[in-house]
Amino acid sequence: MKDMIEDHRVIAEPWYRPLADEVALFEAAYAARMPVMLKGPTGCGKTRFVEHMAWRLGKPLVTVACNEDMTASDLVGRFLLDASGTRWQDGPLAFAARHGAICYLDEIVEARQDTTVVIHPLTDGRRVLPLEKKGELLKAHPDFHLVISYNPGYQSLMKDLKQSTKQRFGALDFSWPEARVEVEIVAHEAGVETATAEKLVDIGARARNLKGHGLDEGVSTRMLVHAGQLIARGVAPIAACTMAITRPITDDMDMRDALDAAVATFF
């Protein structure tokens, strides 16, 4: 088990371009072991940020992609059959709490609202996790830290965190990086020249203006990187933008025309 936790250590520094003071705030929250909530749209770098902080703090990182089929047992653990009967298998939350990892519950708003209450005893002064099925009261390792991510754009009556959950976290807002920074990111990640990256970032800015006028969500930095990667492999820029940006984001014909026009303006 000790060895298994090592698999979760982030060996190489994940490249991360800070947007503001988020690194220092996260470090202070970690020092106080105050659980942290990362808010922001899809594809803006929340996951990368957590990986970077885990590397920077030298702690293993256990990531859980939350989904509504996830039960409390999936987080906490369960008994498995073995040659000699049953064996307890820590779920990722118990595993992280026991071994002092950072536990990152990605898109927690997807999980059933009430499943999330199992994290409550880990997020106040108690810092315990009752493994009720095992009859163990797991006391969290001093290094353990809990991070969740949350996309306010998905927020709805049915799917929102409860106030009693929200109030247990400090929150950091994430958004699209400003143009200068995003160019740097796209050029670095896609391996294209700055001139190309600038055009892609311009296209992204245009597309984000369409949000609310028919697009559910703006174009993410990830999509711009995708287009850059295709260009870097020799695909014609317009075809690359079509495949990586306009086609995935919408099936609405008018919206596609508007996006195609934005692409044609720059390439």
* Contacts (CB under 8 A) with a second copy, residues 234-253: 234-235, 239, 243-244, 247-249, 251
Coil, helix or strand at residue 65: strand
Tokens of 166: 């929200």
Residue from 53, 115, 174, 185 that binds a second copy (CB under 8 A)?
A: 115
- Positions 22 through 51 that interact with a second copy (CB under 8 A): 24-25, 28-29, 31-32, 34, 37, 39, 42-43, 47-48, 51
In whole angstroms, the minimum distance from the beta carbon of 194 to a second copy comes to: 20
Q: How far apart are CA 138 and CA 142, in angstroms?
A: 12
| Contact criterion met (CB below 8 Å) for 120 and 164 | yes
Give the Cα separation of 236 and 240 in Å (integer).
Answer: 6
Q: Shortest distance, CB of residue 258 to a second copy, whole angstroms?
A: 17
In this chain, which stretch among 175-183, 195-203, 218-226, 259-267 interacts with a second copy, using CB under 8 A?
218-226
Tell me which residues in 132-191 interact with a second copy (CB under 8 A): 132-133, 135-137, 151-155, 162-164, 166-173
Indicate the residue among 50 and 183 with the shorter CB distance to a second copy.
Answer: 50
Contact between residue 108 and residue 92 where contact means Cβ atoms under 8 Å apart: no
Q: Does 233 help bind a second copy (rule: CB under 8 A)?
A: yes
Q: Please, are residues 121 and 128 in contact by the beta-carbon 8 Å criterion?
A: yes
Residue 41 or 183: the one with the smaller Cβ distance to a second copy is 41
Rounded to whole angstroms, the Cα distance separating 218 from 231 reads: 21
Which residues 49-88 are close enough to bind a second copy by CB under 8 A?
51, 62-72, 74, 78-86
139 — phi, psi (to 5°)? -90, 130
Nearer to a second copy by Cβ, of 136 and 143: the residue is: 136
Only one residue has tokens 């006391």, namely: 139
Among 13, 18, 89, 179, binds a second copy (CB under 8 A): 89
Indicate the pairing of strand 128-131 with strand 136-139: antiparallel
- Quote the tokens at residue 34: 């105050």
Query: Which of 121-129, 178-186, 200-208, 258-266 is the region at the interface with a second copy (rule: CB under 8 A)?
Result: 121-129
Q: Does residue 170 contact residue 32 with C-beta atoms inside 8 Å?
A: no
Given 17, 56, 112, 188, the residue binding a second copy (CB under 8 A): 112
**Is residue 204 part of the contact set for a second copy (CB under 8 A)?**
no
The span from the CA of 92 to the CA of 105, in Å, is 10
Give min distance, CB of 122 to a second copy, in A: 10
Candidates 101, 102, 230, 258: give the one binding a second copy (CB under 8 A).
230
Between 194-209 and 253-266, two packed helices, what is the crossing angle to 10 degrees? 150
